[in-house]
Structure 1
Amino acid sequence: MLAGVLAAGILGMTQMTVANAAEVTLRMVGAWAHGFSPTGEIGKNFMDNVNRLGEGVVRIQYIGADDVLPPFDQPEALVNGVFDVWYGAPNYWAGVVPGGDITELSPHLVPDGGPGSKLYDFVVGLYEAKGVRHLGHAAGDLGVGVHYLSTNFPVKSLDDLRGKQLRVTPLTRHFVQAAGGESVTLPPSEIYLAMDRGTVEGFSWPVADAFTRYGWQEVTRYMIDQPMYRSGGSVAMNLDKWNALSPEAQDILLKAMAETQEWTRRWFAQNLEEQVRLMKEGGMEVLKLSDEEAERWNKLAIESLWAYYETILPADKITEVKALFDAAE
């Protein structure tokens, strides 16, 4: 009898070992560390979802963020297979996947439409051409958790931006240049000193993403309450690694991404409200534009970004994605 129990125990352990050996571990690197950036929590939420849904099949191991590799170098490293999964801002792909951040203009509740939609398939196609599998773009509700311009000079009109030195992201530089401003590229870590010294007179940032955790309210006077683009975070995989996964593992990753896209809408709304409150408490003033100026601002933001995309994407791709965007209206 004892021999039978031992045999059963050994068999059970062997089965567990086989199951554990079959579980695929994916290494993940992100643009921001967990715990500081609300957008960085998109990556953590996705990881947690995968590890819950994928037990015994697929799991994600978090390696690190900018302590591993500078954020702007991470997309290329993903393509080269240095790690398997990435999260960060969609516009970080601007130099690797032409049009990879086009969902920043999306009118869909889920910016890329979500797995199974024609828009999602369109975005996946853009990334696959460059060796990447797009998994999803998670953002707030329309108009929530988006990019804003904050300045040290009052703004009542687009004309007030003319000639001003403004820190931009790859996404917002087209708007600033179209408005007659001087675009300056700086990493977030240098914004505080640049504003304090007057090297720049304003900067763009998705306010919900930890604005006051950087202390910027101490060196910034105004936030222009005119939202631009979708912001949020995207998750992507090395294409070869994705193709090597079983259909079951791939399905788990897509289900995990869909859960993250749902969760992010509430998360960004919560953080935007908190950040605006803390900015005001820190002495900043929120400026509202007139209806006429708000319309001018929004029109220029949209048209300047489309004009850029038209220089990097074929005309048929522009026509296709505009039709997919219009389908949301």
Structure 2
Amino acid sequence: MKKQIRFIAAGASLLCAMGAMAEEQELKAVHAFPSSLIYSQSFLDFVDKVNEQGEGVIQIRVLGGPEVIGLPQQPDSVRNGVVDMAYTAASFYSGKIPERDALISSNTNAVYARESGGIDLFNEIHQQKMGVYYLGWFDSGVNYNLYTINEPKLNDEGDLDMSGVRLRSNPVYDAFFTDYLKVQPISLPTTDVYSALERNVVDATGWTQIGMSDLNWDKFLNYRIDPAFYSTDMGVIVNLDSWNELSDEAQEILQRVAIEHERYSAESFAEVAAEQQAALEENGMSPFELEGEAATRYLDAAKEASLNRMRARMEQHPDGLTNYDELVEKFNKPDTK
């Protein structure tokens, strides 16, 4: 009788253990921008793919965007375990990861950087310095332009003359604006730019080649300055403890879907960028093209400002310039570096 009881108890324990192992795991997530913006829609598409392929294993529950946790607070909320995951720009936590400029100054996209080992190295740095897992570089390869209300001016050398321009900036391109364009930009979050343009607080801003019409900024901005520069640095970070607590199967699903979405978003956003820029021109936005050596100086200055910032901030860290050269190599195609 005692043997039967022990057998039943052991069987019950085994069933409980199997049930626990099979229990569906969940990650709570936030995203940087309002849900209506195309970048947020890309992240939500990734979430849908994970939830479909991970049914019974892993699910992502999206709590919302900046209305839930403010954009600047989201990275630390992941690091501290308030939420498990955030879709955000690496620029919003550059104080901890100055290597983010490897993405910004990149001349390529996540497909190349994943194959070169750049994103794996970037993930290692995130784990060491911030205690988060860098799951993927989404929506990559989308460039930035300067957009203005008034027709841009050139100096005698053909370079852009931004004197008197009230230029909105953000952490992505503030070094370029300050060092090369010699302006003191006004830092404003994305959600405040519409009213700033409307009230003439600013009359120029940087923005990517995607999503301007979603924000309705094209209601005020009339000129796009070419050539485009930099790359977006949107990605997904996961609290490292939360990541380590996931089953191997859950981790495999998340990483596989993330890598698939890196490629999908890079390719689809390249098409969307071309379509949206053409639509802006059809609706009255005028391209303003820097030419010849002036265009070369403009692009070289943008890259130099980004990499100089990266070097200066890395040198303040105990690890110094460890990984600097490797990151620059792995995030740039050698034929256009």
Using the size of structure 2 for normalisation, the TM-score is 0.84
Aligned to 2:192: 190
Q: Measure the CA separation in 2 of the matches of 1:33 and 1:67.
A: 8
Q: Does the CA contact (< 8 Å) of 1:140 and 1:267 recur in 2?
A: no
Matches for 1:51-200 after TM superposition, within 5 Å: 51-110=51-110, 113-114=113-114, 117-128=116-127, 129-141=129-141, 145-155=142-152, 156=154, 157-178=158-179, 179-200=181-202
Is 2:321 aligned against 1:315? yes
> What are structure 1's unaligned runs of at least 5 residues?
1-13
Q: Helix, strand or coil: the match of 1:205?
A: strand
Structure 2 residue identity aligned to 1:136: G
How far apart are residue 240 of structure 1 and its match? 0.8
8 Å contact from structure 1 (residues 133, 239) kept in 2: yes
Aligned length: 310
Map of 1:50 onto structure 2: 50
> SS at 1:316's partner residue?
coil
Preserved CA contact (<8 Å) 2:102 2:328: no
1:139-169 Cα deviation digits (max 9, x unpaired): 345xxx2111101233344441245321112
**Residues 235 and 326 of structure 1: CA distance in aligned 2, closer, same or farther (over 3 Å):** closer
Query: Identity rate of aligned residues, in percent?
Result: 27
Taking the aligned partners of 1:274 and 1:253, their CA distance within structure 2 comes to: 30
CA shift in 2, pair 1:112/1:253, >3 Å: farther
Letter aligned with residue 82 of structure 2 = V
8 Å CA contact 2:113, 2:119 repeated in 1: yes
Equivalent residue runs for 1:151-300 within 5 Å? 151-155=148-152, 156=154, 157-178=158-179, 179-208=181-210, 210-231=211-232, 233-300=234-301
Once residues 121 and 140 of structure 1 are traced to their aligned partners in structure 2, the CA distance between those partners, rounded to angstroms, is 16
1:117–1:241 distance in 2 versus 1, CA, 3 Å: farther
- Structure 1 residue identity aligned to 2:122: V
How far, CA to CA, are the matches of 2:184 and 2:216 in structure 1?
Answer: 24
Query: In 2, distance between residues paired with 1:58 and 1:172?
Result: 37
Structure 1 residue 112, shift from structure 2 partner:
7.3
What is the CA distance between 1:95 and its match in structure 2?
3.1
Work out the CA distance in 2 between the residues paired with 1:30 and 1:20: 29
**Is the contact made by 2:27 and 2:60 (CA closer than 8 Å) also made in structure 1?**
yes
- For residues 171-202 of structure 1, the C-alpha deviation after alignment (integer angstroms, 9 at most, x for no partner) is 10011001201211111222223223332221
1:261, 1:247 → 2: CA distance?
21
Aligned to 1:23: 24
Q: CA shift at 1:284, angstroms?
A: 1.9
* Preserved contact between residue 140 and residue 234 of structure 2 (Cα < 8 Å): no
CA distance in 1, matches of 2:254, 2:184: 41
Aligned mates of 1:46, 1:102 — CA distance in 2? 24
1:150 counterpart letter in structure 2: Y
**Would the aligned equivalents of 2:32 and 2:88 in 1 still touch at CA under 8 Å?**
yes
Structure 2 residues not aligned, in runs of 5+ = 1-14, 315-319
Change (3 A) 1:20 1:248: closer
Alignment match, 1:6: none
Q: Distance in 2 between matches of 1:279 and 1:257?
A: 31
SS in 2 for 1:63: strand
Moved more, 180-189 or 225-234: 225-234
- Letter in structure 1 aligned against 2:323: K
Instruction: Compute the TM-score of the two structures, normalised by the length of structure 1.
Output: 0.86
C-alpha distance in 2, partners of 1:277/1:322?
A: 32
Change in Cα spacing, 1:20 to 1:68, as seen in structure 2 (3 Å) is farther
Give the whole-Å Cα distance in 2 for the aligned partners of 1:295 and 1:84.
42
Say which SS state the counterpart of residue 136 (structure 2) adopts.
strand
